[in-house]
Structure 1
Amino acid sequence: MFRIAHLTDPHVGPLPRPAIRHLLGKRITGYVNWRRGRREAHDMDVLAALVADLREQAPDHIACTGDICNLGLASEWPSSRLFLDGLGSPETVTFVPGNHDAYVQKSLAGLLKAVDPFACGDEPRSHRFPFLRRRGPVAIVGLSSAVPTAPFVASGKMGRTQRRYAEELLAGLAKEPLFRLVLIHHPPHVGGAPAGRNLTDAEKFEAMIRKVGADLIIHGHNHVGSVAHIEGPQGWIPVIGAPSASARGGALTHRAGYHLYTISGEPGAFRVEAELRGMDQHGRFCGLGPITMGRDPITFGQVMGLRR
């Protein structure tokens, strides 16, 4: 049995006060949005409570799927590293970036340098993404959909080269007795997010998965939990999104939470159980019920057997 916790979109704060010269281009609109209300949407006390609950569950591994930053400022990189260090060692924590981590040109490179031990594979490669980590019965494949975009755009892209490497990697792993877990920030399926927030090459990602498959794909970005599926060579593959780890929102679907996966069984007959843990109506973190991996696309809080 192997247990993996998945958290995403922590948007670690407080945001350091930026110098005027750092607010050129897209950052000025992002900073205005943050001042007008985004900073109220993410609560560091909530995030601390989530991390405390996560630690109590003592998972074997933790996956963080991006948006650890807010505006991709260099002054955010040390706190991003401290946050990941607080989750655990690089051996037990894996990170892939999101669009806020690549807010402008050079943002992503600086962040990845700061958090490098958490965002690299077990063996050196000629490329950063995809990377591979073997942990117990699980092969963790880290992908990046993080690219700089224009103001008011939060879309992502894998790109041809990364997709080709990912296809080769997943095809090779299919020959090994491992559970293939894919990490990415943006929902990688068609229709996973509206235009301007979507993975722009989702159709090509789906085509790749149809050929080589995977066992489970997890993502963030939408700040709500969700379940969808992509057809693989041997059946439908769950694509599961987690809520923001620091969301203060009062609506059930927008409260902070994370997912806890238990992987058991043998190669060729792996079994996955998933649980949503998050804030209840009293603001306490607890188990909120199992995640149903049926074929119908749904958002948590609707028809997921969620226990309030």
Structure 2
Amino acid sequence: MPLRFIHCSDIHLLDLKGAQLGQWLNKRLTGGVNLLLNRRRKHSHNLFDQIVVHAREYAVDRLVITGDLTNLALAPEFELVRSKLREVGLPVTVIPGNHDTYTRGAARSRRFETFLGEFMEGERDDADYPFVQRLGDVALIGVSTAIPSLPLVAVGEVGEEQLARLDRVLAQLAGEGLARVVLIHHPVLPGVAKPRHGLLDLEAFGKVIARHGAELILHGHEHRRIEGTLPGPSRPVPVHGVGSGTYLSQEPGKHGAFSLYTVEPRAITRVYHWWNGAAFAADPSAAY
């Protein structure tokens, strides 16, 4: 059976009530200023609510979110996200982004996994990531690139140990004939990330894909539509980056967006949807 799901990313749901002064004496100081002066005006929870409405109307099997569910990785934000996801009424799969491990404290305490672990249930090899969700003839593979970084830096890293596990997972699932959909937050195509925003081990990730392939790679992070391919062992692997799910911008390519996918081992279809200022509109030119 095919798997039908909606992919969105970078929803940046905000709730700061209860945050203590001491929690701002780190990278959150610069991030908070940016949030108040810029980001807060450009994102709306309403758009995520509209994505959920579309997911129900399309009767999809699952909602997939590739990171940056929060802004500053504060507990009130995670409480809001968990509440919102529990109300979706459909299965949800999430992976973390850099904003979800915004500080070393958030990373050490495994705040993302503690609050949102129920949306990452699956097979694991003695570590949180990658995790595998087998859904009929399709396998979702959740990879984490979320690491804390310096102010004004938003880099990511898979890491040698996770890459080794990913190598084994992709090989095993290929042998079983499953359609492998890799979920990752940072872009994996060379040259598309902004300065100080990229994946530190992009080349090493590409080598894993070159050895074993995948049927599809989905990401977010750059808040814009990104499309291309990575070399695979027998054919190119499609890579799709989606704009922020809650972004109010009307700048071409940077609209709020989500994609509707139907995936099976021998075929993948997609319809891209963008926020036109009043509603999410399907873009026939972005069909895949």
Task: Give yes or no for the alignment of 1:221 onto 2:221.
Answer: yes
Contact 1:120 1:128 in 2 (8 A): no
Question: Shift of the alpha carbon at 1:274?
Answer: 0.8
Deviations 1:57-110 (A, max 9, x none): 111122110101101112211111112212345xx2111000000000132411
Task: Give yes or no for the alignment of 1:110 onto 2:106.
Answer: no
Question: Shift of the alpha carbon at 1:46?
Answer: 2.2
Alignment of structure 1 residues 234-249 onto 2, 5 Å: 234-249=234-249
Give the equivalent residue in structure 2 for 1:288: 283
Counterpart secondary structure, 1:157: coil
Counterpart secondary structure, 1:276: strand
Question: Shift of the alpha carbon at 1:177?
Answer: 2.0
RMSD of the alignment, in Å?
Answer: 1.6
Q: How many Å separate the matches in 1 of 2:68 and 2:10?
A: 5
Deviations 1:207-236 (A, max 9, x none): 111001111000000111110110000110
Contact 1:155 1:195 in 2 (8 A): no
Contact 1:46 1:246 in 2 (8 A): yes
TM-score normalised over the length of structure 1:
0.88
Question: Shift of the alpha carbon at 1:52?
Answer: 1.4
Alignment of structure 1 residues 57-68 onto 2, 5 Å: 57-68=58-69
Q: How many Å separate the matches in 2 of 1:15 and 1:255?
A: 25
Give the equivalent residue in structure 1 for 2:94: 95
Segments of structure 1 that go 5 or more residues without pairing to the other structure are 294-308
Query: Which piece of structure 1 moves more, 24-33 or 183-192?
Result: 183-192
Counterpart secondary structure, 1:51: helix
Question: Shift of the alpha carbon at 1:119?
Answer: 1.7
Q: How many Å separate the matches in 1 of 2:34 and 2:18?
A: 14
TM-score normalised over the length of structure 2:
0.94
Deviations 1:172-230 (A, max 9, x none): 11101210000000012222303310001001100111001111000000111110110
Segments of structure 2 that go 5 or more residues without pairing to the other structure are none
- Counterpart code for 1:139: A
Deviations 1:39-67 (A, max 9, x none): 00111122222221222111112211010
Question: Shift of the alpha carbon at 1:15?
Answer: 3.6
- Counterpart code for 1:151: P
Alignment of structure 1 residues 29-108 onto 2, 5 Å: 29-89=30-90, 92-108=91-107
Q: How many Å separate the matches in 2 of 1:148 and 1:58?
A: 36
Query: Which piece of structure 1 moves more, 246-255 or 180-189?
Result: 246-255
Task: Give yes or no for the alignment of 1:187 onto 2:187.
Answer: yes
Q: How many Å separate the matches in 2 of 1:31 and 1:190?
A: 30
Give the number of equivalent residue pairs.
Answer: 285
Contact 2:55 2:63 in 1 (8 A): no
Q: How many Å separate the matches in 2 of 1:125 and 1:211?
A: 20
